[in-house]
A = this chain, B = another copy of it.
Amino acid sequence: MITRKDIHKDFTDKIKVIDGGICAVSKVKVAGVRDGKYGVSIIVCKNSDVAGVFTSNKVIAAPVEYTKNTIEDGKLSAIIANSGNANCFTGDQGVFDCEATVEIISKIFEIPKTEIATASTGVIGRKMPMDIITRLINQASEVLENSNNASINAAKAIMTTDTVYKHASIEVTLGNNQKVKIGGICKGTGMIAPNMGTMLCFIATDAIADQKILKESLKKAVDDSFNMVIVDGDESTNDTVLFFANGESKNSILVNNKINGSDIDRNFQEGLNVLCKDLAKQMAQDGEGATKFIEVEVRGAKSKSDAQIASKSVVKSPLVKSAVFGGDPNWGRIVAAVGYSGAYMDPDDITIAISSNDNLVDLVLDGEILAFEGTANLENAELIMKEKSIKIIIDLKNGKYNAIAYGCDLTYDYVKINAEYTT
């Protein structure tokens, strides 16, 4: 039988949700302004250490190349991001436009160009409308603030097909009882539309950490969050996640509270994981055309990688996604998607439940179907499938590894949005 469990429960007293978004971290000043489909966000974070993760697509937008280079020395003082144009597939002109944008920020804020990162999202294959971008940068630069509202404005200014802005912030009590804050903004509807669905995410902390540690911590968090979000499996040319630390709290994340051989404080790592999962869920919930949020938890896998590929396979399956849209507790499609995922599994052991809110029902137990016609299990399962947020729990009973993937249903509106959008 499947039972509920909260994998974060060990940390509930260590991680507190707070207000502020990216501005929960003091001294981080941000602004965001829009003009129709174009928007500009500025984040000023002087003398921060920084690490980033970027798209693995072989087609890479100019700002991604630029930012990879500029953060190589680990220092960051500002980020300039725009929506409406991805500055991708734009040749040499794209590189010039990137440099021009950075130049403007450098002049306004008197920051060395080598400490400025840039990111773009929007249509690809068209030149940057530099007149509009320049005007928006000048406007934004006059309203920088460290406030919850400023974080929301910055989150709004980078939206494209997003229907809601996305930001989050927490306070973490480290192993030595000192407190640090982490906050971030992001946009994206799930690594989805090469044209209009890039994922951008900027996360700040007031902890002390150098690039190496930030990178290690970010990579762990991203693997369990953004890399587990699948709306349609397409991957953008512009995906960018930047994580920076300004040290304002005077607390290092390297304290005496080790986990798995890492020097990173385990409460800090869990806090960053929770924050990134929160943002990842916000993206999945805002998936193009989505009417339902789907969480797929795979337990008992032989390896972490098996747990990840099995859960992603289910959340990605167009047949499972269509079934969720139709409110059908179709365990057969779930079993088949696990079966072709490549993860080790024995059909005689597989156990599947679905849940929503406080309701949980077993569909398959040790390879035996419990939810067939006329059973209370099927009736209950059909009730659960009517909810807006559905969790599918799969126990492979082969090992000790777990993973959770996030996604949404496949709807008429997904097809409509993506069929009608014109190059």
**Residues of A at under 8 Å CB distance from B?**
55-60, 89, 91, 123-126, 192-195, 232-237, 316-319, 322-323, 325-326, 328-333, 335-340, 343-347, 367-369, 371-372, 410-412, 414-423
Please measure, in the bound complex, the distance between the C-alpha atom of A57 and the C-alpha atom of B343, giving whole angstroms. 10
Sort A-B residue pairs by CB-CB distance and give the 5 closest, nearest first. Answer: A326-B419, A194-B336, A59-B339, A322-B418, A235-B340
- Which B residues touch A343, using CB under 8 A? 58
How many subunits of this chain does the assembly comprise?
2
- Which B residues touch A422, using CB under 8 A? 328, 330
Interface contact B328-A419, CB-CB below 8 Å = yes
Interface contact A319-B125, CB-CB below 8 Å = no
What distance in Å separates the Cβ of A321 from its nearest Cβ neighbour in chain B?
8
- Which B residues touch A420, using CB under 8 A? 326
What distance in Å separates the Cβ of A239 from its nearest Cβ neighbour in chain B?
10
Chain B CB within 10 Å — which of A326, A331, A423 has the most?
A: A423
What distance in Å separates the Cβ of A354 from its nearest Cβ neighbour in chain B?
12
> Would A318 and B234 be within 8 Å (CB), given that A59-B347, A89-B335, A332-B423 are in contact?
yes
> Would A91 and B368 be within 8 Å (CB), given that A237-B336, A330-B423, A419-B326 are in contact?
yes
- Which B residues touch A233, using CB under 8 A? 316-318
Interface contact A340-B412, CB-CB below 8 Å = no
> Which chain B residue shows the least CB distance to A410?
B415
> Which chain B residue shows the least CB distance to A369?
B125
